[in-house]
Structure 1
C-alpha cells in the first residue's frame, strides 16, 4: 500500500487547498496529479503481481483508452459540424472541429515517425506528442474540477447576486442562454432570501456592438416582466468583459456595503473561469452556473479552457519550452545514434 502514499498525500493537499479557497486552478492540477499517481500505483501493482488477471486488466485498460480516444475524436468532429450549422462560422464555433483535426494530425505524425524513424520526425513527434499530452492532461484536470466546482454548495449568506451578461438577440432581446442565467439567479436569490434578508440582484452588462440597449437594462426588464421586484435590481451597464463585469459590480457592492458577500451567476461552462477571475480581482464571491444546451457545451468548454491557458501563459510557456527542448534532445540523440 506504500505505492499509494503519494496519491493519498496529494489528495490531502487538494482537500486542504479547496477548504482554503476553491477558486484556484492549482486545485485542478493537484487533483489530476493525485489521480495520475493513483492510477500509476494501481498499474504498478498489477504488473508486479505477474498474474493473468493483471495482464488482462492492463490490456483491457489500453483497449478501453483507445476506444475512448476514437469516440472522443468522432464526437468532437460531429459537434464541430453541428456548431457550424447552428451557430455559424466563427473561430469559437470551430474549436470542436479544430480539436478533432488536431488529434488526428498528432496521431498521424506519431505513426509516421514510428515507421520512418528519421531524426527530424522523431524530434518533431516527441515535442508534438509531449505538448499534446501536456494540454490533454490540463484539459482533463480542468473539466473534472470544473464539474466538481459546479456541485459545491454555496452555504453562506450573501448580500448580492450578480448576473453576468452574455449578449442580446436582435439588439434588445434576452437570448435563451442569458434567460437561463436569469432564471438561475432568481432561484439563488429565493434561496438566500429564505435564509433572511433581501439580497440585491445586480444585472451586469454594457452595450456591445449591434446592441440597442445595455445588456443590464434588457436583463432587468426581463426580470421585472417575470415578476421580480424592481427595487431589488441594480444595473451595472458599462462592462464589456467578464473581468469588467466583476470589477464594476464590485465597486457597486463596496459602496453599498464594504463587507459584502455575493454570489455570481453565469452558465455552467463559464462558472469555473468566472470564479478564477473573481479571485484574481479580489471579489468576495462564489460562482454558480445555469444549464447550457448540450450541443453548445463542448465548444464553450474548449473556449473557456483556452482562456485559462492564456491567463496562465507564463507557466505554460515554460512547460512548453521544456517539452520542445525534450524534442530537440530526442532529435539530437537519434541523429547522433544514426551517425554512430
Structure 2
C-alpha cells in the first residue's frame, strides 16, 4: 500500500510539473519514479492475484532481467556497426556500439565476481552496478518523457516557427536530416497560418568553416524553391550552436513582435533537449520533432542523453560519486 501512495505522490508532482512547464527534466524523473513505485506495489500485491499468476510473473521477470541486457547489448552493438558503415567513424556515431560493449563488460565483470567469489571483485561489480543502475534509470526517464513530450499537441497561439539548422552537404546543399526538419516546419507553419493571423518561419543556422553560405540561407532557398512564400521567411544566420539558435532567433522575434511565442522544429531525437535549452534561455516555445531514420535514433538518443546528464553534472556526478564512496566504505568495513 505504501508503494502505491508514493507512486501517487510522484504522479501528482509529475502532473503539476507538466502544467507549470512541460520543458523540465524533473517531469521525466517524477514520471519515472511514479512508474517504478507503481511496479513495486503491483509486485508486492501479486500474491493476492489468481493462482499461478505470481509464478508466471516471476518467470517473465527473471527472463527480462537475465536475457534483456544481453539482447539489448547485442542490438546496440549491431546498430553501432551499421552506424559506422552508413555515417562513418566519427565519435558520435560510435555511441551505440560503445554502450553495447560497455554493457557486455559490466555483465562480464559481474559473472567473474560470482564465479571467483572474490570479495574485492564483488564490491567493484556491485558498485559498478549501482552507478549503471542510476544512469540507466535516468536514461529510461529521459526516453520515456521525450516520447510523451514529442506527442503533445502544438500550441495554438504561436507567432513564429523556428527550424534549427544541422549542417550542409558539400558546403551548400540541404541534407536529408535537415530537409526533414524543414518539411515538418512547413507543415507546422501551414497549420498555424490556417488558424488566422500572420505567421513567420525562421530558418536558424550560421555559416560553418566548411560551408559556402550560412545554413539559414540554404534552408530558406530549399523552402522557397518548393513554393513556400519568400516574404514569410526570416533568416537567422549568426548561430553556431543550439543555444545560439535559440538566443539569436529570440532577438529577431522580439525585434519584430515583442512578447511573441513560437514552435521550434528539430529532429525527434533532439526535441526534448532543445525544449530544455529553450526553457534555459527564456524562449517561449514548444519543440516538435521531425522523423529520423531508425538506424540513426539509438546513437543520437544516447548523445542527447549524455548532453542532458552533463547539463546537471553537479547533481548527477555527485550522486555517482556517493555511490562509489559507499562501495569503498562497504569494502573497508567488511
Measured against the shorter chain, the TM-score band is over 0.9
C-alpha distance in 2, partners of 1:124/1:180?
45
Q: How many residues align?
A: 334
> What pairs up with 1:256-271 in 2 under 5 angstroms?
256-271=256-271
Shift of 1:122: 2.2
Shift of 1:13: 1.4
Shift of 1:209: 2.5
C-alpha distance in 2, partners of 1:266/1:2?
41
The unaligned stretches of length 5 or more in structure 2 are: none
Matched, 1:56 2:56: yes
Q: Which of the pair has the greater relative contact order for Cα pairs under 8 Å at 6+ separation?
A: 1
Shift of 1:61: 1.7
| Equivalent residue number for residue 234 of structure 2 | 234
RMSD value, Cα: 1.4
Q: Determine if contact 2:184/2:290 at 8 Å carries over to the other structure.
A: yes
Tell which deviates more after alignment, 43-52 or 159-168. 43-52
| Equivalent residue number for residue 77 of structure 2 | 77
Shift of 1:52: 3.9
> What pairs up with 1:96-115 in 2 under 5 angstroms?
96-115=96-115
Q: Determine if contact 1:181/1:290 at 8 Å carries over to the other structure.
A: yes
Give CA-to-partner distance per residue, 1:85-141, whole Å, 9 cap, x none.
000001100000000000000011111112223332122112211111011111111
| Equivalent residue number for residue 38 of structure 1 | 38
> What pairs up with 1:84-103 in 2 under 5 angstroms?
84-103=84-103
Matched, 1:216 2:227: no
Describe the SS at the equivalent of 1:174: coil
Shift of 1:2: 5.3
> What pairs up with 1:1-340 in 2 under 5 angstroms?
1=1, 3-46=3-46, 52-333=52-333, 336=334
Give CA-to-partner distance per residue, 1:246-268, whole Å, 9 cap, x none.
00001111111111010000000
Give the alignment's TM-score, normalised by structure 1.
Answer: 0.95
Give CA-to-partner distance per residue, 1:149-172, whole Å, 9 cap, x none.
000011321111100000000100
Give CA-to-partner distance per residue, 1:194-237, whole Å, 9 cap, x none.
11112111100001121111100000100100111111111111
Alpha carbons of structure 1 residues 329 and 260: separation in structure 2 relative to 1, 3 Å:
same
Q: Determine if contact 1:122/1:331 at 8 Å carries over to the other structure.
A: no
Give the alignment's TM-score, normalised by structure 2.
Answer: 0.97
Give CA-to-partner distance per residue, 1:49-82, whole Å, 9 cap, x none.
7964313312222213433322211110110000
